[in-house]
Amino acid sequence: MIGGNSGTGGKWSSRFGFILAATGAAVGLGNIWKFPYITGENGGGAFVLVYLICVLLIGIPLMIAELSLGRRGGKSPVNTLLDLARESMAPQWWWMVGMMGVLAGFLILSYYSVVAGWTLVYSIKMVTGGFWGLNASEISNVYDQLISDPVQLLFWHTVFTGGTMWLVAQGVQDGLERAVRFMMPALFGLLILLVIYSLLVGDASQAMNFLFSMDFDKLSGDSVLVALGQAFFSIGLGMGMLIMYGAYLPEDVNIAESSFIIAAADTAVALLAGLAIFPIVFANQLEPGSGAGLIFQTLPIAFSHMPLGSIFGFLFFLLLVFAALSSSIALIEPAVSWLMESRQLSRADAALYSGVAVWLTGLLTVFSFNEWASVQIFGMNLFELIDYLTSNIFLPLGGVLIAVFTGWVVSQSLLLEQARMNSLVFKIWINLVKYLVPAGIFLVLLSAIGVF
């Protein structure tokens, strides 16, 4: 057997630790605002139903594939795909698919850490009463002043990147797993507390109607594509981190069963986030579809006018910090692992070099909001360009190629050994991975680049 977790010298201590880590990797800032918003705009419960079907038919099958490849290879995505290609007597260029995932995660973290820095700023402002007594225009100005100040953005980008790399440097069990064992229960606890608060002081009935009413008239072909894309991106596919987390997976963990649990937990967080946000949004006559602006411009207005608003506003932004951090350690882990394998670096050195590279690349995002705002490429600033390349090209293209590699290149006996399904379930799964998964993600790719 190849691999055997030899590349990085670490494993999750238990199935529970792995599920927490993989759920933390999947749950990010986008879950907190994007999923609830697109749910409400595309038919509420009808959209959730379509989304769950997409998760079942595309998201979970590809998650099982990535985790199975990772556990079999036992190394970074780059070397896992290289080793498996050799074992399958296939062309060795498949390692480039792994490298594309590593690069995507690296680039995403470079701007993610800048945005995550905003959550740190806002959590501090909330707990110190920095928004108290301000009107809507003044609160909006806080956001504008923050992104126009490169020094402040640089400071918080540095703090967040440094914290992420410090955790990664501690190792699989002492760093990654210990962090998520604290952060994920804290995240769920904070989320439930915020849901209770929001339902009590906000407009619960309008929020419930927005999120869960079965309005099939709002469903369209575009809605299905949105659901497909969300099912793919929300779980964290195509960026190498699930292959990496699979490399740390003990042999006795059932991958298929764990994948269902992770997908369910990820969806639960997104729906709970909607119940935490939208009662407050509707009670204050705010615009539910304002995206990132909802978090950093309109919600602080609501919290500043609500009972115990400073406390619960602080808890909300602390929730965002945890969501960002649990995703960030997963985004950079494939790059750290690859450096350890290819350059024989210690984990601490690999984390340091990765962190410096992420920090430097993050300067493109920091300055794209201010000093370099006039720099436009294809009509996008540098932040928007990096986001577009990673989200619309690297991730879906990587997902398609991983599905093709799993379904058509790797031997089925090897996959059966890892997935441990009965023959009927395995046959259904492998056919989904061969045909439906790549076709579905390819539609997402075509839609993302504007073909239709």
**Tens of pLDDT along 144-176?**
999 999 999 999 999 999 999 999 999 998 999
Q: Which of helix, strand or coil describes residue 76?
A: coil
Q: Which two tokens stand for residue 140?
A: 């909006």
Q: What is the pLDDT of residue 4?
A: 45
pLDDT tens sequence across 438-452: 999 999 888 888 776
Strand partners for 377? 380
With beta carbons less than 8 A apart as the criterion, state whether 429 and 421 touch: yes
Predicted confidence band at 105 (pLDDT cuts at 50, 70, 90)?
very high
Q: Which one has a higher pLDDT value, 263 or 135?
A: 263
Asked if 255 and 59 touch (Cβ cutoff 8 Å), the reply is no
pLDDT in tens, 229-275: 888 888 889 899 999 999 999 988 999 999 999 999 999 998 899 89
Handedness of CA 404, 410, 413, 419 (dihedral sign): negative
Measured between alpha carbons, how far is 134 from 369 in angstroms, rounded to an integer?
A: 24
Residue 415, amino acid: L
169-211: pLDDT as tens digits:
999 989 999 999 999 999 999 999 999 999 999 999 999 988 8
- What confidence score (pLDDT) does residue 312 get? 92
pLDDT confidence of residue 38: 85
Q: What is the pLDDT of residue 406?
A: 96
For residue 44, what are the β-bridge partners? Answer: 214
The predicted model gives 23-51 an average pLDDT of 86
pLDDT band (50, 70, 90) for residue 3: very low
Average pLDDT over residues 370-383: 94
Residue 18 β-bridge partners: none
- Whether the predicted pLDDT of 136 surpasses 90: no
- pLDDT band at residue 290 under the 50/70/90 scheme: low
Alpha carbons within 13 angstroms on the beta-carbon side of residue 225 total 15
* pLDDT: which is higher, 328 or 392: 328
CB 312 within 8 A of CB 303: yes
What integer pLDDT is reported at residue 308 of this predicted model? 87
Confidence check: pLDDT of 410 > 60:
yes
Report the alpha-carbon angle 376-378-382, nearest 5.
Answer: 45
Q: Which of 19-33, 150-164, 277-291 has the lowest mean pLDDT?
A: 277-291
Mean pLDDT of 402-407: 96
Confidence of residue 334 (pLDDT cuts 50, 70, 90): very high
Mean pLDDT throughout 282-299? 76
- Mean pLDDT score across all residues of the chain: 90
Residue 419 is predicted with a pLDDT of 80
How many percent of the chain have pLDDT more than 90?
66
User: Would you state the pLDDT for residue 57?
Assistant: 95
- What is each CA distance from 387 to 303, 391, 413, 448, in whole angstroms? 29, 6, 38, 12
Q: What percent of the chain has pLDDT over 70?
A: 97
Distance CA 265, CA 244 (A): 20
pLDDT given at position 298: 75
pLDDT at position 137: 82
Nearest to 25 by CA among 234, 206, 320: 234
Q: Would the pLDDT of 6 be above 50?
A: no
